[in-house]
Structure 1
Amino acid sequence: MNTLLSSGLPGTLQSSNPELELSIVVPIYNEVESLPHLVNTIANTLVGQYRYEIICVDDGSRDGSVELLKDMAQSRSDLRAVLLRRNYGQTAAMAAGFRYAKGRVIITLDGDLQNDPVDIPRLLAKLDEGYDLVSGWRKERQDAALTRLLPSKIANWVIGRVTGVQLHDYGCSLKAYRSELVADMNLYGELHRFLPALAFIEGARIAELPVLHHARRFGHSKYGLGRTFRVLMDLLTIYFMKTFLTRPMHVFGLFGLASTALGTVLGLYLTFLKFGLGQSIGDRPLLILTGVLILAGVQLFSFGLLAELSIRTYHESQGRPIYRVREVVESGVAESNESD
């Protein structure tokens, strides 16, 4: 058995449910043809090696996936079906899967059969080397070059530069997580594709592993270029969280100080023109700009103070520390603190 799942040494997984090792979380949206093949392939890969559960989260499917999932969940002891009331998006579906997962390791993959479950043991072996998250890399990706591969390469480069987490493939859903890492991350918007960046903010050790990727066998892709705007907005959110999550006053205060200082300098210049040289300044656009800059500076300072109060409320109300302890070592004894 994989040492990651069986060892109780510092740095290995701990759970309130020692009986369950793996939770396989699969978001489903209109994948009725793929479902039986996917569940059987996962089961055939894991049975006899791990104690596992498969959690299929239906995200408002309308093609019969709901009915099929109900029937399969009632006839299989290894399958749990989580049925959302409507289509919320992949981020919400993954968050629901994380919420119901009981395993010490959580594996995510797509429900379209393009990810291959046979890679799961390899991800676990890599996780056992001391990582908190192992992300799949579709090195030989079977998708259209212009509409999928090129935009993906550009997006991966931009995301890596902004977040500081250099991965070849942010969009690959096949990933392995330690359960305590997932417990520290709250997902909103379209943040599922930024999970490695969120994990990095929490201090996770991240690795990437080439995995298999197959051409889609059934249906059609649910993704398109229309996601670009949402991705950019979420990327800005991630950058702000990574840089200023515990000190928002640093960014608002900096711009507020710069704006106020520039407005003050312009104001002094106009004062000199008015009283020193006797020139009229009432019809000068510079006077309006001075007022705008000073008011903007005051508002930015106010935003910074409000953001500081919000961040303090966020951490204190949830009991969330502003740090994460990996382990404490004293007198030759190492104590794991992964859940802090």
Structure 2
Amino acid sequence: MPIYNEIESIPSLLSAIATTLQAEGLPYEIVCVDDGSEDGSAELLKQEAQRRSDLRAVLLRRNYGQTAAMAAGFHYAQAPAIVTLDGDLQNDPADIPLLLSKLNEGYDLVSGWRKNRQDAALTRLLPSKIANWLIGRVTGVTLHDYGCSLKAYRAELVADMNLYGELHRFLPALAFIEGARITELPVRHHARRFGRSKYGLGRTLRVVMDLATVFFMKKFLTRPMHVFGLLGLGSIGLGTLLGLYLTFLKLGLGQSIGDRPLLILVVVLLLTGVQLFSFGLLAELLMRTYHESQGRPIYRVREVVNRGAGSPT
């Protein structure tokens, strides 16, 4: 759970999680990541972690944002299944066993769907519906509710995902890039009891920029030359055709071309094409460095099945 100024919610949330999972007989650990809270949440989490054995408190040095807090939580989580949820009591811990049960059916990620969402219609629900539709169309992963923090993951899945910027809302799309099996499950959603939301309409532009990043990663992560090179060749080709046309006007018909705006366009297209093609080559080198320096393969294996005895696993 990423925590930012949720001191009123923390005791009730920890109690609800423990009660639910103990009733199900599930072994568990709660990992709370304080993202630079200023209301005493960090001190409360520290006290609770020293008092109880089922809580691990990770206190960040300053406010880095929800993506960084979730990345820290993934790093410190040790169980084979990881469930994320917000710290504001709007997600219901009673839904956690349902997500885990669905995860055990063979899925790698189970995303919660706040079917009856208890938020403001104009400032939260409408922008969310538009964003969910847009993200689904661009990424190819159709979910009703990308923004629901209540999700269940297999640990090996999140180990392959590096989070930057504000990519936490695109975790299903990033998981899809890694070849994950994804499904969605309706979950309960409660009205906020304490404080106020940290989100507003101002995040819309950031969502659009992050969406462009995810789209590029999905389509061209291992082959950036396919986009930059294609655009570069198109620009060079169009510039060449227009240049030949101007050459015909000059040499064939004897017309003056020095004062034609088309001549400037030809020069711009040729220079742009060369630059885009060069960007593609540089991007290819960066991608090779990215994969080879980290030892990251360009594929993911779900399982290996071999009938022979003594075969390597």
Equivalent positions of 1:260-271 (< 5 A) are 260-271=236-247
Deviation at 1:217, TM superposition (A): 0.5
Instruction: Work out the number of aligned pairs and report it.
Output: 312
Shift of 1:332: 7.5
Q: Which residue does 1:214 correspond to in 2?
A: 190
- The 1-side partners of 2:218 and 2:171 are apart by 12
* 8 A contact 1:327–1:336 mirrored in 2: no
Kindly indicate whether residue 19 of structure 2 is the aligned counterpart of residue 44 of structure 1: yes
User: d(CA) in 1 for partners of 2:307 and 2:74?
Assistant: 37
| Residue in structure 2 matched with residue 54 of structure 1 by the alignment | 30
> Structure 1 residues 332, 142: closer, same or farther in 2, change over 3 A?
farther
**TM-score calculated relative to the size of structure 1:** 0.90
Q: Does 1:330 align with 2:309?
A: no
Aligned with 2:8 (options 19, 24, 33)? 33
CA distance in 2, matches of 1:286, 1:119: 64
1: distance between equivalents of 2:300 and 2:55? 33
Aligned to 1:143: 119
2:58 corresponds to which of 82, 89, 99: 82
* CA displacement 1:293-312 (0-9 Å, x = unmatched): 00000001000000000011
Pairs within 5 Å for 1:241-252: 241-252=217-228
Rate the CA distance shift 1:336–1:85 in 2: closer, same or farther, 3 A: farther
SS of equivalent residue, structure 2 residue 29 = strand
> Helix, strand or coil: the match of 1:281?
coil
Structure 2 stretches of 5 or more lacking a match? none
CA distance in 1, matches of 2:26, 2:290: 38
Q: Quick one: distance in 2 between partners of 1:189 and 1:280?
A: 52
Match of 1:181 among 129, 151, 157: 157
- What is aligned with 1:233? 209
What letter corresponds to residue 79 of structure 1 in structure 2? L
Runs of 4+ in structure 1 off by over 3 angstroms are: none
> 5+ residue gaps in structure 1?
1-25
Equivalent-residue separation in structure 2 for 1:97 and 1:201 (angstroms): 21
d(CA) in 1 for partners of 2:136 and 2:57? 34
Alpha-carbon distance, 1:279 to partner: 1.0
- The CA deviation at 1:64 is 1.0
Equivalent in the alignment of 2:131:
155
| Aligned match of 2:97 | 121
Matched residue type, 2:12: H
Give the deviation of 1:336 after TM superposition. 11
Deviation at 1:193, TM superposition (A): 0.3
- Quick check: 32-41 or 273-282, which moved more? 273-282
